[in-house]
Structure 1
Amino acid sequence: MPTFADLGLCDAVLTAVLRKGFEEPTPIQAQTIPTILNDTRDVLAQAQTGTGKTAAYGIPILQLLDPAAPHVQALILTPTRELAIQVAEELSSLRPDPRITIAPIYGGQSMGLQLRALRRGVSIVAGTPGRILDHLRRESLDLAQLAFAVLDEADEMMSMGFLDDVEEILSHTPAAKRTLLFSATMPREILAVARRTMNEFVTLRAESTSLTASATDQIAFEVAAADKFEALCRIIDMEEDFYGLVFCRTKVDADAIASRLEERGYDARALHGDLGQAQREKILDAFKKRHARILVATDVAARGIDVQDLTHVINFDLPGDPEAYVHRVGRTGRAGKSGIAITFVTPSEYRRLQWIQKLARTSIRKGKLPKVAEVLEAKRSRIESEVRSAMDQDIDPQMRHMAARILAHSDPETALAAVLQHAFGTELDPGRYRELQELGPDRTGKTRLVVSQGRRDGLTPRRLVAYLSDACGVEPRRVGDIEILDTCAFVSLPFADAEKVLAHRSQEGQVLFRKARPRPRAPFAKSSPRPGPRHPNR
């Protein structure tokens, strides 16, 4: 792996990078920085969240800009307000020259504040498509002399319905600019946008597995849906210094989980799209400063949040697709530090987790939730450690005086036990918890098998049903959804019958049946964006 000094950076930029604390470039940075500096082509880069892509395009842009120029030289489009703010903060911290100015432009922020900043002159604008379009239509933003256009997290902009806005924005930019497109995935729609809006481009790719690094321990707990909150509390209570993101499916869920956590005494906040911008920024600030240890968020609300040293990411609800899982997990275990990613799985979701694990090319181990006794013992150990630590500190004379008065009428063990019970009795009450039953995969549903023969082999639905009945003992009425293709076939069977068929195959030494992969158009797969009102987080 090269060092930053090997990438062609000038002394001023290299000094800023080292001052920032960067030690060595990530794979996408090692590819992108010299390409932008030494090549004149546009760049199409595939890189996950958490791989350092902001610095990958930001560092070379900062080197190539003219600090004295009064006009906007670089435009960075992001899908969310949080990411726009994060990008602006990151680039500001890497500036080699204080004359380079960076402004975040997004909906929910004062328009007057943005207008004043643009009138003063800005070198780099990082903004959301909707607000950027507003300024272009007001003619308060001039992109006529733009040198760089960056599309950050293009796949998210596509899923939020922003691609038309992006193309309209790019129509206001000069043809000679360089376009840098970054996306975690490369669906056909993104490639089509690249071909329509970019000049000759070079394609760069960082391995997607870099996001789910070995430093992240990925664990799945199988629990009933009604037991998820209890499981979450146990995981939090087992940790000495829990600091994590809890992902759930809806805004209502985020509010409900955060409220229940606060009622139970945890420092938790909810983050979702219905919050006002000032409130969102206040919540994020509290979380970054660790005034709140738990942030319960939806995927869209958490997009672009960059918080260091998270100990845990918890999937309270299983994400809908492998990309979402990889994005979530990538928020812990960064920069070589360890982290834990936990996923709660109900019995009916077990097969979906297997599908996510396979397509995400990651390893998720099955874990056992701690028992009530284990949680209470972990708490008692922490309390004992905290008390011993407090004994080594300076103690207020008034406290010593109170202790002497109490001990005058009681033995030391009883006195200390009474103090501990008064301070921690509620926290150590076993009644706060209830035993949970861990569950396995749902064996009441059906699974789909692939048959290694098809129409060309003379296979028909009737022959397949007859074979399953005669050779494997499967009742014909339990066989369903048969699909015969030229070289193979598919059949759906109850789990128990499928296991009998697979066992029979292994006994005969044949490879006639095998488990089918989940269908590409499964109900939990991403759907194409539908036209509708512009996203409120524009």
Structure 2
Amino acid sequence: MPFPSTHPTLEAALTAKGYAEPTPVQAAVLQPEAHDRDLLVSAQTGSGKTVAYGLALASTLLGTEERMGAPGAPLALVIAPTRELALQVQRELIWLYGPAGARVASCVGGMDVRREARALADGCHLVVGTPGRLRDHLERGRLDTSAMRAVVLDEADEMLDLGFREDLEFILDATPAERRTLLFSATIPRDIATLAKRYQREAVRIDTIDQSQPHGDIEYRAVRIAPNEMELAIVNILRFVEARGAMIFCHTREAVRHLHGSLVERGFSAVALSGELTQSERTHALQALRDGRARVCVATDVAARGIDLPDLGLVIHADLPNNRDTLLHRSGRTGRAGRKGTCVLIVPYTRRRKAESLLAAARVDALWGPPPSADDVRAADQRRFVADPAFTEETTEEDAAWARTLLEQRSPEDVAAALVRIYRARLPAPEEVFDDGGASERPGRDRPERGDRRDGKPTRPPRPADDGPGSEGMVRFRMNVGRRNNADPRWLLPIICRLGHVTKNEVGVIRIFDRETTFEIAEVHAPRFMASVRRSTNDEDIRIEPFEGPKGPPKKAHKPFARKRPDGDNRHADAAPPRRDGPPKDRPPHKKKAKSKER
């Protein structure tokens, strides 16, 4: 549908930018009932919120005038949680309000504060900033809010998550009470509702999110992996999906640094985003993604909040999100503005239940499966190679001359093989990954595997035998993964070696049971092994400890029976009665009760 009637100057800007029809949130804020009202809007990331509140502010900032007046004290303030989002909003408002002669200033942490102070002193119409820097300018008297007609809180839930409540309240209290307040948030939890109730007046509630199907333009996949093969699985996913842009989320800066280095080493054009980077480094990394010089971005949650990247077709959760909201925020980087996207969760066997509960909380249906194998990647490469546009482009005379020269000197097979080698040379090699053969997808995967006896009855899996510390010259240890976690020596052995700083030659027999696995380490290396395990940073929820026999609840000690003495002296009632060689004389021998035939 066409855009609803809006300001003529902004309509011209939309047409010049190629906007033909509004997104749901843009259409909603332009309805008559929302005109000049406070708005409380919940909309997904990437739904066009910046343009939406830019259009909603037109009647407040421009009225019936075609252009803004002379710049002075700012008329509107937009608050965003991160530097990247604030600068992105500034760019959007510049092209939207540029034809109206608007001057848009930014005030964000990490930028030159003196330049910002000069921009505010010279006068502007709109200010976009982050909470901390805006509060600093207010406290120092650089930001004049006396003429302010509207305040916008963009990604309000993220600002509260990041601990900016006090700053937001300070800023809002410093603005005129008769202003308009537009609050945009992906979710409306209790904290957001409380903030809206305090600072908004009879706000119009707009909800454009289909709660029954979050992120409908995103295909979710859950990839089960051996805990030590996270990097290998990510390499194959990046190679198999072949999205123009991809973002990978990790929990910590160290994880970002390590994964980024590993991908660059393999030949991927990748950049990193984390809190330890300077603003200049972050800006260059984002620009590399926007202009296509980089294809992959590895980032922490905080560094990637609010970032809008064009053609981001793939999001990978290298570390599982901590909660439902983080899952949706991360995933919302793709599937934006009507485009389709793919979201992949990397799920170690030891964390499958956490992943399932996370997806259930987000009401997301994910397709479970193994990571793409090296053969899968090569088959996809072959399909893409055959469909390459180079084979369908028009052949020039110069191209034909080169082709004739080649065929005079080489056979067609040699030319085709050389072309394949050239194509493959620019691609990182796929990795060999462990596949459980679908065992984790079969019904009853949480129950132990059972064999069959000759009579067809199932046999119970053996329990660890309490046969001491281990074989001669070996010390036995246990870890808390077993058959229910798809434990397999092919991925257990590398983990044992990595956590304990030993080689496979120092590892003895590995026995896998239902809920645990026991293994042996050479006795001379056992102390060093245990010390290394205690020092290791283990992110796979795998615990290793010395083996001390089968684990289980201790048997309850029965209190010895003692009868009361006829004279009332019960001082030794808790003492054990003397042992007899036979049954007591005053009681008949114990007889077994006949089993009842009734069920």
TM bucket (normalised to shorter chain) is 0.7 to 0.9
Residue 336 of structure 1 deviates from its aligned partner by: 2.5
1:133 counterpart SS class:
helix
From 90, 93, 96, the counterpart of 1:94: 96
Paired position in structure 2 for 1:50: 46
Amino acid at match of 2:27: A
CA offsets, 1:467-500, max 9 Å, x none? xxxxxxxxxxxxxxxxxxxxxxxxxxx999xxxx
Residue 209 of structure 1 deviates from its aligned partner by: 4.2
2:260 counterpart SS class:
helix
Q: Are the counterparts in 1 of residues 267 and 427 from structure 2 also a CA contact under 8 Å?
A: no
CA offsets, 1:160-206, max 9 Å, x none? 11110111112211111111112222222222222333333232222
The structure richer in helix per residue is: 1
Residue 281 of structure 1 deviates from its aligned partner by: 0.5
1:44 to 1:336, Cα distance in 2 relative to 1, 3 A: closer
Residue 17 of structure 1 deviates from its aligned partner by: 2.3
Q: Are the counterparts in 2 of residues 12 and 96 from structure 1 also a CA contact under 8 Å?
A: no
Paired position in structure 2 for 1:433: 431
Q: Where does structure 1 lack aligned partners over 5 or more consecutive residues?
A: 447-493, 497-538
From 40, 60, 67, the counterpart of 2:56: 60
CA separation in 2, counterparts of 1:210 and 1:141? Answer: 43
Amino acid at match of 1:59: L
Q: Are the counterparts in 2 of residues 312 and 332 from structure 1 also a CA contact under 8 Å?
A: yes
1:36 to 1:123, Cα distance in 2 relative to 1, 3 A: farther
Paired position in structure 1 for 2:575: none
CA separation in 2, counterparts of 1:394 and 1:340? Answer: 42
1:393 to 1:315, Cα distance in 2 relative to 1, 3 A: farther
1:163 to 1:208, Cα distance in 2 relative to 1, 3 A: farther
Q: Are the counterparts in 1 of residues 271 and 297 from structure 2 also a CA contact under 8 Å?
A: yes
Residue 388 of structure 1 deviates from its aligned partner by: 3.9
Q: Provide the alpha-carbon RMSD of the alignment.
A: 3.1
CA separation in 2, counterparts of 1:339 and 1:178? Answer: 35
CA separation in 2, counterparts of 1:433 and 1:60? Answer: 51
1:373 counterpart SS class:
helix
CA separation in 2, counterparts of 1:221 and 1:335? Answer: 26
| Normalised TM-score (structure 2) | 0.67
From 169, 172, 183, the counterpart of 1:170: 172
Q: Are the counterparts in 2 of residues 211 and 326 from structure 1 also a CA contact under 8 Å?
A: no
CA separation in 2, counterparts of 1:20 and 1:397? Answer: 41
How many residues align? The count is 440
1:411 to 1:185, Cα distance in 2 relative to 1, 3 A: closer
Higher relative contact order at CA 8 Å, sep ≥6: structure 1 or structure 2? Answer: 1
Residue 411 of structure 1 deviates from its aligned partner by: 4.5
CA offsets, 1:52-101, max 9 Å, x none? 22122111213431410522010111110011011111111211634211
Residue 138 of structure 1 deviates from its aligned partner by: 1.7
The question of 1:125 aligning with 2:127 is answered yes
CA separation in 2, counterparts of 1:328 and 1:281? Answer: 20
Q: Where does structure 2 lack aligned partners over 5 or more consecutive residues?
A: 63-67, 449-481, 485-599
Paired position in structure 1 for 2:35: 38
CA separation in 2, counterparts of 1:106 and 1:399? Answer: 55
Paired position in structure 2 for 1:258: 260
Paired position in structure 1 for 2:78: 76
Paired position in structure 2 for 1:4: 3
1:109 to 1:35, Cα distance in 2 relative to 1, 3 A: farther
CA separation in 1, counterparts of 2:33 and 2:374? Answer: 55
Paired position in structure 1 for 2:468: none
1:96 to 1:111, Cα distance in 2 relative to 1, 3 A: closer
1:39 to 1:420, Cα distance in 2 relative to 1, 3 A: closer
Residue 3 of structure 1 deviates from its aligned partner by: 3.7
1:195 to 1:292, Cα distance in 2 relative to 1, 3 A: same
CA separation in 2, counterparts of 1:328 and 1:212? Answer: 12
Q: Are the counterparts in 1 of residues 42 and 187 from structure 2 also a CA contact under 8 Å?
A: yes
Residue 212 of structure 1 deviates from its aligned partner by: 3.8
CA separation in 2, counterparts of 1:445 and 1:28? Answer: 48
Amino acid at match of 2:199: T
Paired position in structure 2 for 1:480: none
1:434 to 1:138, Cα distance in 2 relative to 1, 3 A: same
CA separation in 1, counterparts of 2:397 and 2:132? Answer: 57
Paired position in structure 2 for 1:417: 417
From 294, 300, 318, the counterpart of 1:298: 300
More displaced, 261-270 or 148-157?
148-157
Q: Identical aligned pairs, as a percentage?
A: 35
More displaced, 121-130 or 45-54?
45-54
2:440 counterpart SS class:
coil
